[in-house]
Amino acid sequence: MSQLVLCRRRILGQRFPTDDFTNVTPAIISKTPLQLHITPSHPLSTLRELIESAYKDFTHVSTSSPLVSPYKNFDELSFPLDHPGRATTDSYYVNRDMMLRTHTSAHEVEMFRKGETRWLLTADVYRRDEIDASHYPIFHQVEGARIFDTNASGMTEVLEDNERLSSLLASANIIIEDIPHISDTNPVQHNHDPVFSELVAKNLKLSLNNLLLKVFGAAAGITKQNPLRVRWIEAYFPFTSPSFEVEVFFQGKWLEILGSGVVRQATLDTAGVENKIGWAFGLGLERIAMVLFSIPDIRLFWSTDSRFLSQFQQGKINVFQPYSKYPSSYRDVSFWIPQDSKMHENDFCDVVRDTAGDLAEDVKRIDHFCHPKTRRTSLCYRINYRSMDRSLSNAEINHVQDQVLSRLKDKFGVEIR
């Protein structure tokens, strides 16, 4: 009892009791107030504004607190109870009743309930993940949505908007690989008029094709000879049907840009807007900003070094000039895990993040071995250390590595080999 009262986490000025779900670490909590997406001149802020400029007549919101209930993050959006995203290995929980949002879709019901019919919402989102140059446990998303009345005037509104958006695209330097708006494997919802749903899916695609043209056209030297290539892919999300993902061909690679679809009626019903039909999308900012600004490592977004920050101005997309690539140095750690251990790879990564912070550039499992006689499991990880801002001494790396080892022993009872 007394232990329960003593164990609390303080996040954004609020105190929360901990329980068996608690896995949010001090390293993560310390980043929750930073709000990079509204920090003037930050590349993420410039990209947010560029996206907002493509939706001038939408309401624009930037939320602050990432704290939401699991109900809001999952249940309101029809996530099944056994969805892997709910697991403590995948998401950060303050306790059983409070978590850090894993996506901006968590605010859909709230926005629709307020009566918003066309809106963009930008926020920081949190997922437990591996450690490398393109993964960070915090990133930023823009959620966008538009809903129409399910009557004749609503349908006229979609038809007219589709005409307007189609004519914008007709003269643009873009090649779109499309798929059917609705199919057997990507079906219309049973309570939707298929004609209306199809028009809404078309509106979604036209709207996003125009957005991508604006975002990538700005930086990519898009011409008649070198048009923007966009491809639509069938997808599945618990809260949309039909559902789509979009990829853009940029600098020789297909980049995953966003998820989207026709909003599940249950979501709109929960929000109290039963007589509407519409679309939503969720787009990650970091991946796009990394290619637009040539930012080679996702940790740089969190840098407070003026050699990073001073290179950017609000509203301007320019190529980042790396000030230096400081040397990296790796350390391996091999250990036996206790027989009944539930230690997950993400648990290992959170110990590293919490100890080394952004000095950990990359973590890879390089060996996994089960002793044939004792049946004990041994793991070996290679942690690559590199600072974005300075050279690290061997002594400093050894010290961090020693702390990683001792935390692994304390938290998971591993036996270092």
Query: In the block, which residue shows the tokens 């929750």?
Result: 32
Q: Which residue, 70 or 259, has its beta carbon nearer to ligand DAH? A: 259
Give whichever of 101 and 299 is closer to ligand DAH, judged by the CB atom. 101
Calculate the CA 324 to chain-centre distance: 28
Q: Of residues 205, 259, 297, 301, which one binds ligand DAH by CB under 6 A?
A: 259
| Binding window for ligand DAH (CB under 6 A); candidates: 30-38, 274-282, 377-385, 390-398 | 274-282
- Asked if 281 interacts with ligand DAH (CB under 6 A), we say yes
Q: What is the spatial distance between Cα 199 and Cα 301, in angstroms, rounded to a whole number?
A: 38
Q: Coil, strand or helix: which one is 174?
A: strand
Residue 66 interacts with ligand DAH (CB under 6 A): yes or no: no
What is the residue-wise DSSP string for 309-361? HTT--TT-------------EEEEEEEEEPTT----HHHHHHHHHHHHGGGEE
Asked if residue 277 binds ligand DAH (CB under 6 A), the reply is no
Q: Which of these segments, 33-41, 279-287, 331-339, 383-391, binds ligand DAH (CB under 6 A)?
A: 279-287
CA distance 309 to 303: 8
Phi, psi of 253 (to 5 degrees): -135, 150
Which residues face 360 on adjacent strands? 385
State the minimum distance, in angstroms, from the CB of residue 180 to ligand DAH.
18
Sign of the Cα torsion 411, 413, 414, 415 reads positive
For residue 184, what are its two tokens?
């057997």
Contact stretch for ligand DAH (CB under 6 A) within 67-75, 130-138, 254-262, 393-401: 254-262
List 139, 261, 273, 379, residue binding ligand DAH (CB under 6 A): 261
Q: What are phi and psi of 181, to 5 degrees?
A: -65, -35
Stretch that binds ligand DAH, among 28-36, 225-233, 280-288, 298-306 (CB under 6 A): 280-288
CB count within 10 Å of CB 48 equals: 22
Establish if 240 lies at the interface with ligand DAH (CB under 6 A). Answer: yes
Give the one residue of 27, 211, 230, 280 binding ligand DAH; rule: CB under 6 A: 280
Does the footprint of ligand DAH cover residue 105 (CB under 6 A)?
yes
In the bound state with ligand DAH, the residue whose beta carbon lies nearer, of 240 and 387, is 240
Please list the residues that pair with 237 across neighbouring strands. 240
Asked if 237 is part of the footprint of ligand DAH (rule: CB under 6 A), the reply reads yes
- Give the shortest CB-289-to-ligand DAH separation in angstroms: 17
- For ligand DAH, the closer CB: 279 or 336: 279
Q: Which of 103, 128, 205, 386 binds ligand DAH (CB under 6 A)?
A: 103
Selected range binding ligand DAH among 150-158, 164-172, 256-264, 311-319, rule: CB under 6 A: 256-264
**Are 223 and 173 in contact, with CB atoms under 8 Å apart?**
yes
For ligand DAH, the closer CB: 188 or 360: 188
Residue pair 68/106 in contact by the 8 Å Cβ criterion: yes
Total residues binding ligand DAH (CB under 6 A): 11
Question: For residues 282-321, which are near ligand DAH according to CB under 6 A?
Answer: 282
Backbone Cα Rg of the chain: 23
CA dist list (Å): 315 to 40, 45, 221: 9, 8, 18
CA distance 343 to 11: 25
Nearest alpha-carbon partner for 146 in 111, 173, 180? 111
Residue 336 interacts with ligand DAH (CB under 6 A): yes or no: no
Q: Which tokens is 192 given?
A: 């939707």
Cis peptide before 33 (omega within 30 of 0): no
Structure tokens at 338: 């206790």
Site for ligand DAH in 124-153 (CB under 6 A): 143
Nearest distance, CB of residue 187 and ligand DAH, angstroms: 15
Comparing CA positions, the residue from 247, 258, 252, 251 lying closest to residue 292 is 251
Q: How far is the CB of 90 from ligand DAH (least distance, A)?
A: 12
Q: Which stretch binds ligand DAH (CB under 6 A): 253-261, 325-333, 334-342, 353-361?
A: 253-261
Candidates 132-140, 225-233, 257-265, 286-294: pick the segment binding ligand DAH (CB under 6 A).
257-265
Residues that bind ligand DAH (CB under 6 A): 103, 105, 143, 237, 240, 259-261, 280-282
